[in-house]
Amino acid sequence: MTKDNPGFNTLAIHAGAQPDPTTGARATPIYQTTSFVFNDTDHAAALFGLQQFGNIYTRIMNPTQAVLEERIAALEGGTAALAVASGHAAQLLVFHTIMNPGDNFVAANRLYGGSVNQFGHAFKSFDWQVRWADPADPASFEAKIDRRTKAIFIESLANPGGTFVDIAAIAEVARKHDLPLIVDNTMATPYLLRPLEHGADIVVHSLTKFIGGHGNSMGGVIVDGGTFDWSKSGKYPMLSEPRPEYAGVVLHQTFGNIAFAIAARVLGLRDFGPAISPFNAFMLVTGAETLPLRMQRHCDNALAVAKWLKTHDKISWVNYAGLEDDPNHALQQRYSPKGAGAVFTFGLKGGYEAGKRFVEGLEMFSHLANIGDTRSLVIHPASTTHRQLTPGQQVAAGAGPDVVRLSVGIEDVSDIIADLEQALAKL
């Protein structure tokens, strides 16, 4: 590490933050205010006209939020970021910035169930169409692209199966067709994997998960990679054409490699309003400080648990990329050599009913619809997070009837295994 190139652990603690200039407080303050006083009328006019950066209203920006944004942008290696109320809000604002009615995008069919639902149902209200492709087959993405396609969307580490995706190969398809590659990096976090280094243009997170890390605050973030030419094709008018609400400002021309983050803020967040609260931003900033320590413990524990489950006679299969004989192991070693993450799935002999009984028999594991907590978590996706999908969609998403998903916490691994063992013994 040098002063000009700090290491990841240092960035997790210091990026974006300075002692408070008024009080000297070392921790980032919670600026619990709705609005901010202007210096004079010219200052106010410059802020509203995008001629000067600064705080106007907490729905659009806030100093606590700004620290969170700068920190995540630094950890991901991006040029700028926008923090919002949730991961779903981040995805909505990303697509609002690039899509018009009648447009489509190509998405991996192995995604978090909530994203499958958002893309396949809620987005129809905007006349945005999703086309599904197989993340294990980059050519399947190309086959779905036409003149109205605006983006490709994947998860770096797919939820719930915990499978790594060949980001670079899919990025080649995106570049060939002048499309931005959007990557949800929630499961891997920038500690394990930085998608922008492999060809992604935009990264999104549910900060609710590993970056916050304690299951106490909702949040999402959009990270602008600063790599995509939004003016080249003419397909992204919100960035490449004059904006009437800002006196004809052309955002890409004016803001260059931070234009996407600016557009998502001043055209999306401004009008849809999914603002993150200052308190949640503060909690997520605090959580980010211990991200590298927690993620390594998550990975170490998960690998030990996966190895143990693989030997159990009531388990039919274990899908964890950290296992040397796992089909996804080579991709894991290529993209994420520090570990395979905390979340993985396994199959119970006995199928759907066995999965439900197993979850109910656990004592230390928390049965809930979240991942990335310090605590070990469990869910049976087919009866919960993915139940709105058809049986075929459930299987395609890695959430078939026998599947149990674990999010392995940072407790003592012997206690985690003991809880699994007693629950299996009840079957």
Inform me whether the pLDDT recorded for 270 exceeds 60: yes
Using one digit for the tens of pLDDT, what is the confidence trace for 371-416?
Answer: 999 999 999 887 877 777 788 877 776 778 889 999 999 999 999 9
Q: What pLDDT score does 384 carry?
A: 79
Q: With bands split at pLDDT 50, 70 and 90, how would you rate the model's confidence at 2?
A: low
Q: What pLDDT score does 93 carry?
A: 98
In percent, the amount of the chain with pLDDT more than 70 equals: 99
Domain spans, the chain? 8-287, 292-425
Inform me whether the pLDDT recorded for 358 exceeds 70: yes
Q: Which residues contact 189 (CB under 8 A, 6 or more apart)?
A: 205, 210, 211, 291, 295
End-to-end CA distance of the chain: 52
In percent, the amount of the chain with pLDDT more than 90 equals: 88
* Alpha-carbon torsion, ordered 183, 186, 190, 195, to 10 deg: -10
Inform me whether the pLDDT recorded for 105 exceeds 50: yes
What's the rounded mean pLDDT across residues 212-224? 97
Q: What pLDDT score does 406 carry?
A: 96
Inform me whether the pLDDT recorded for 353 exceeds 80: yes
Fold of 8-287: Aspartate Aminotransferase; domain 2 (3.40.640)
Label residues 128-142 b or e (16+ Cβ within 10 Å = b): bbbbbbebbebebbb
Inform me whether the pLDDT recorded for 325 exceeds 90: yes
Inform me whether the pLDDT recorded for 111 exceeds 50: yes
Q: What pLDDT score does 287 carry?
A: 98
What's the rounded mean pLDDT across residues 24-49? 95
Q: With bands split at pLDDT 50, 70 and 90, how would you rate the model's confidence at 366?
A: very high
Tokens for 22, please give them.
């008024």
Q: What pLDDT score does 1 carry?
A: 44
Label residues 160-188 b or e (16+ Cβ within 10 Å = b): bbbbbbbbbebbbbbeebebbbbbbbbbb
* C-alpha to C-alpha distances, 299 to 162, 211, 316, 408, nearest whole angstrom: 12, 14, 22, 8
Q: What pLDDT score does 262 carry?
A: 98
Instruction: Name the CATH superfamily, with its identifier, for domain 292-425.
Output: Aspartate Aminotransferase, domain 1 (3.90.1150.10)
Using one digit for the tens of pLDDT, what is the confidence trace for 278-320?
Answer: 999 999 999 999 999 999 999 999 999 999 999 999 999 999 9
Inform me whether the pLDDT recorded for 332 exceeds 50: yes
| 405 three-state secondary structure | strand
Average pLDDT of the chain is 95
Other CB atoms within 10 A of residue 369 CB: 11
User: How far is the C-alpha of 204 from the C-alpha of 192, rounded, in Å?
Assistant: 15
